[in-house]
A = this chain, B = another copy of it.
Amino acid sequence: MTEASKQRALVVLSGGQDSTTCLYWAIDRYGADNVGALTFDYGQRHRIELECAADIARAAQVPHVQLPIDTFAALGGNALTDDIDVESEVAEPTGLPNTFVPGRNLVFLTFAAAFAYREGYGTLVTGVAQTDYSGYPDCRQETIDALQKSISLGMEFDVAIETPLMRLTKAETVLLARDVGALDAMALTHTCYNGERPPCGHCPACELRAKGFAEAGIPDPLVERFK
């Protein structure tokens, strides 16, 4: 492969608020010509996320690839791929939220690195954040650092993993979205755990999002769109 350039960045794009902010952050930092977006179809119940990701990449004018991962669904037993009530937030018997797929981000970033390796992207960008840490150990900086080392050794690929939202509150993420020109694209994102559009407004994800926009003092373009 071409020597992977740290100045070419691949963004793991879920179609949500955080990864969309990261996409525009990367464009702001590296230039649209040096940014690509990668979305995983891992059998998520809310297929709308995949459409949102494609729409967002198109709006941002960056190349977009979708890769399938059928393994999580085969592993089973979690609310994001199975038909389990997400409102009962804590799954027995782990104490973790039942939206937790063990190792999901480890797998996403490892596959993203494999793709980046082939395509000459030296930097990965992911929207994980430990500030609003709610039982997702694979979102912490310490985990990302360990994973970076695994990938670096296992692929002989000294990839950089950027986590621009890691220490931001949701309100700070909204302000960052404004600063990097991502606000318009927020109207294209999907957050609602119940998969509703317009968003339900009362699930934990909708509430967290609304709180962030409210604290930032900025109207949510997604909410405005459906007014």
On A, residues with C-beta under 8 Å from B are 1, 67-71, 74-75, 77, 93-94, 96, 101-103, 105-107, 110-111, 113-115, 117-118, 137-138, 140, 142-143, 146-147, 149-151, 153-157
Quick one: copies of this chain in the complex?
Answer: 2
A-B contact pairs, 30 of them (CB 8 A): A1-B93, A67-B74, A69-B69, A69-B70, A70-B71, A71-B71, A75-B115, A77-B118, A101-B114, A102-B117, A102-B118, A102-B155, A103-B111, A103-B113, A103-B117, A103-B155, A105-B154, A106-B151, A110-B110, A137-B154, A137-B155, A137-B156, A138-B153, A138-B154, A140-B153, A142-B153, A146-B150, A146-B153, A147-B150, A149-B150
A102→B67 CA distance, assembly (Å): 15
Cβ–Cβ contact A143 & B137, under 8 A: no
Chain B min CB distance to A46 (Å)? 20
